Amino acid sequence: MTDETAAAPASESGTTKEPRLPLFYKSLAPLDPKRHGTLRLKRKGDYSFASNSNIVPLLCIEFGVAQKNYPIIFTRNEPHLPMALLGYEQGKNPLIGKDGAWTAGRYLPAYLRRYPFALVPLAPESDRLALCLDEKSALFEEGQEGLFFDGDKPSAKTDALINFCREFDRQFTLTQSFCARMKELDLLDETRIRVMSGERSVELQGFMAISEKKLNALDAETFESLRPNGYLPVIYGHLMSLAGSQSVAQQTRGLSELASDA
């Protein structure tokens, strides 16, 4: 199934000699009526695929809401993309219950809502895109209702998926532009977060953050140049998320204790 609009690369992790699959994806195949005509999603709200990751990609448009729940960090490797830090133990996501449900009241990043679908270029440097799915995902099953096709034509469900993925890619492109601007201005520094987990201190490192000191040192003209693109609210959302990292750590610890008692 193809879409004619331009979009972000298939891999949010950057370009390599052999393209890597995005986080959580094990395969990507174009959605096809002959191959997937009787396929449907098992149920909504199963995010168990992300249970082994304490980070998830984030779009700039999400900072305003996400900063209330998670520290927002940037990857150490270029292009320094933003991530929501979901928990403080690597390989553990305390926000996902045993039934795969996301913790009520906590923001659910668009990246997770997009899975197991993505728009992927049909060929390198091509603007023609295919709606693809992770065929190895455990979220699919055979069925007779809630299908992705009405005969050979995409169903309303599939049209909605295409629109969501198209908007996700548009916002991802804007996020890339923001990150490139932060790098251009040398505002990103490698940093660390120290939080209390129970009675012990935990130090998290290996990521980047915007330096408030460097931001304040910008000349007036450069600082004002960040306003028209809406970059200032994004920057301050990021900084506010780090300022609240200790309270988020306490919330995360509480969720972990609840999960262990269940």
Tens digits of residue pLDDT in 8-65? 233 343 333 345 899 999 999 999 999 999 999 987 889 999 999 999 999 999 999 9
Q: What per-residue confidence (pLDDT) applies to 97?
A: 92
Return mean pLDDT, the chain: 85
Instruction: Provide the b/e sequence for 42-77 (b: ≥16 CB within 10 Å).
Output: eeeebbebbeebbbbbbbbbbbeebbebbbbbbbee
Helix (H) or strand (E) holding 133: strand 129-133
CA 169/CA 110 separation, integer angstroms: 11
Indicate whether 4 pLDDT > 90. no
Q: Which of 50, 30, 72, 257 is nearest to 161 (CA)?
A: 30
pLDDT-based confidence at residue 250 (cuts at 50, 70, 90): low
Residue 194: give the domain boundaries: 2-261
Structure tokens at 44: 């909504």
Q: What is the pTM of this model?
A: 0.84
Least confident of 8-17, 51-60, 211-220, 228-237: 8-17
Mean pLDDT throughout 173-195? 93
Task: Pick the closest to residue 70 from 99, 112, 14 (CA basis).
Answer: 112
* Cβ contacts of 132 within 8 Å, gap of 6 or more: 10, 28, 29, 30, 31, 117, 118, 119, 120
Number of domains in the chain: 1
pLDDT (0 to 100) of residue 109? 98
Residues of the chain above pLDDT 70, percent: 83
Least confident range from 67-81, 91-105, 213-227, 237-251: namely 237-251
Least-confidence region, from 57-66, 174-183, 196-205, 243-252: 243-252
96-101 mean pLDDT: 93
